[in-house]
Amino acid sequence: MTKLLIVRAHPLDSEISRSMQVTDAFVNSYVASHPEEHIEDINLYDLAIPDIDRDLLQAWSELGSGAAFDELSEAKQQKITLFNGYTDGFLDADKIVIANPLWNLNVPARLKAWVDTITVGGKTFKYNEKGEAVGLAGDKKVLHIQANGGVYGGKDPANQYLKTILNYIGINDFQELFVEGMDYAPDKAADIMAEGIEKATALGKTF
């Protein structure tokens, strides 16, 4: 069974968030067009996303030195389990939708933390005999949905960051849907949103 993972990175829902409104339109269309597929829809602001901190770095070092998992402190065990859970969830998905606003030209911090959980040596990439990184997740497809107050056409640092990381781990089927310019041209915001929702609905049928 094909599995779709929806990763939302906005603390507000579609009543306020433009990126989530467009994402909802995509999901509704996708569900109607792919009733047999399994969908996991998560919002990173409803979950605990472990940062790569002292506990995680020490835990990885201890495990690499031969320590058993149950010898780690409780805090380290919890963070390792959470981190690995997100890695496994990503690996288990065939398709991924990443939806976020553009905040200060970057992705929200929760999304950066999640991206760290899917960029894992030996799982989503490895090094070849020349020391070059080789992606291991190339059989997946990703759709990036992003709402921008200004107009960037995908050249903003947030989208470029996601594209670079996903290419790094081997994903070349990277599609984009931008809803942008609502703050730059507030008189056109309703039309911009309507067009974005129309595009999202169409993508939901074919993604």
What average pLDDT does this structure show over 195-206?
98
Rounded to 10 deg, the angle between the 109-118 and 74-92 helix axes is: 80
Residue 82 has pLDDT above 90, yes or no: yes
Phi and psi at residue 101, in whole multiples of 5°? -85, 160
Section 51-63 average pLDDT: 98
DSSP tag of 18 = H
- In this structure, the strands spanning 125-127 and 133-135 are antiparallel
Digit-coded pLDDT (tens) for 2-23 = 999 999 999 999 999 999 999 9
Each domain of the chain, given as residue ranges in start order, spans 3-47+94-206
> What is the per-residue pLDDT for 3?
98
DSSP structure class, residue 16: T
> What's the predicted TM-score (pTM) here?
0.96
Residue 138 pLDDT: 86
What gap in Å lies between CA 85 and CA 82, rounded to an integer? 5
What pLDDT is recorded for position 111? 98
- Does CATH place domain 3-47+94-206 in 3.40.50.410? no
**pLDDT (0 to 100) of residue 141:** 97
Terminal Cα-to-Cα distance of the chain (whole angstroms): 15
**Model pLDDT for residues 83-140, shown as the tens digit of each residue:** 999 999 999 999 999 999 999 999 999 999 999 999 999 999 999 999 999 999 989 9
Rounded to whole angstroms, the Cα distance separating 69 from 111 reads 27
- Tell me: the pLDDT tens digits for 143-192? 999 999 999 999 999 999 999 999 999 999 999 999 999 999 999 999 99
Token output for 156:
């903003």
pLDDT tens digits for 24-33? 999 999 999 9
The pLDDT, as a whole number, for residue 195 is 98
How confident is residue 63, by pLDDT bands cut at 50, 70 and 90? very high
Q: Is the pLDDT of residue 194 over 90?
A: yes
